[in-house]
Amino acid sequence: MKVLLFGKNSQDIKELVENSGLQVTEQNPDVVISYGGDGTLLSAERTYPNIPKLPIRNSQFCNKCPDHQDKKVLQDLLAGKLNLNEYQKLHTSLDGKDLYALNDFVVRNQHPIHAIRFNVNGQFFIGDGIVISTPFGSTAYFKSITGGSFDEGFGLAFNNTTEKQNPVYFNEDDRVNFQLVRGQANLSFDNNPDIFNIAESTAVSFDLSDKKAKIYESSLRCPNCKVIRG
């Protein structure tokens, strides 16, 4: 099995990967090993879409349980013992570009001292913006706003609106229609460094796409692997 190592410290595990019987390559890998945290995984998916990802946390920032020690995870990969899950991505289109998010899309005020006025599916709001999240990303920004996560469809969280709003959940065939009525706003997604401006009166729609990320189960979501906060 050919694997590509991804992440700024990924060379730290190159010897271990090779000793596990895996072939390290830079072209046409069967699997991309994302060595780092959630941000590294998102970057790997953006750089190498459609290729299965094996996320492995950097051991400097995570105390791993026995089932998720690096050597065992690599051996399990080679032996075909890891479950490969598929996660549907969100889609939107802006300025003629199709954009896809594994975690979430975030629309928020460009200037923190000025709220924006906006419509969501025809309803008017004033606040900092919205977060549209997949189930995979619902444990991140969405959870920090709402206090909860979800397992199917996609979710909408309202960020610091003048009147507190409960999150809204949608089915696979639904769509969220956003329109900026007044103010200046930006669109960002996952950890992509590209930030897009949304002009006043611009309408942007969000829905689930047919594109999926393929991710092997590993320590990223293991409750027994303790992330070290530094």
pLDDT, tens digit, for every residue of 70-115?
Answer: 899 999 999 999 999 999 999 999 999 999 999 999 999 999 999 9
Asked, for residue 216, whether it belongs to a domain, the answer is no
Structurally, the chain folds into a number of domains equal to 2
The Cα–Cα gap between 29 and 10 comes to: 15
Per the annotation, the verdict on 104 as an active-site residue is no
Could you identify the residue written with the tokens 């009166």?
Answer: 201
Structural domain span for residue 191: 89-210
Q: Is 12 exposed, middle or buried (0-12, 13-18, 19+ CB in 10 A)?
A: middle
CA of residue 210 relative to chain centroid, distance: 16
Residues 78 and 98 both lie in one domain:
no
pLDDT, tens digit, for every residue of 116-172?
Answer: 999 999 999 999 999 999 999 999 999 999 999 999 999 999 999 999 999 999 999
Q: How many CB atoms lie within 10 A of CB 147?
A: 9
pLDDT tier at 230, thresholds 50, 70, 90: very low
pLDDT, tens digit, for every residue of 19-46?
Answer: 999 999 999 999 999 998 889 999 999 9
What is the enclosing helix (H) or strand (E) of 144?
Answer: helix 141-146
Catalytic one of 12, 38, 173, 210:
38
Asked, for residue 105, whether it belongs to a domain, the answer is yes
Q: CB of 91 within 8 A of CB of 82?
A: no
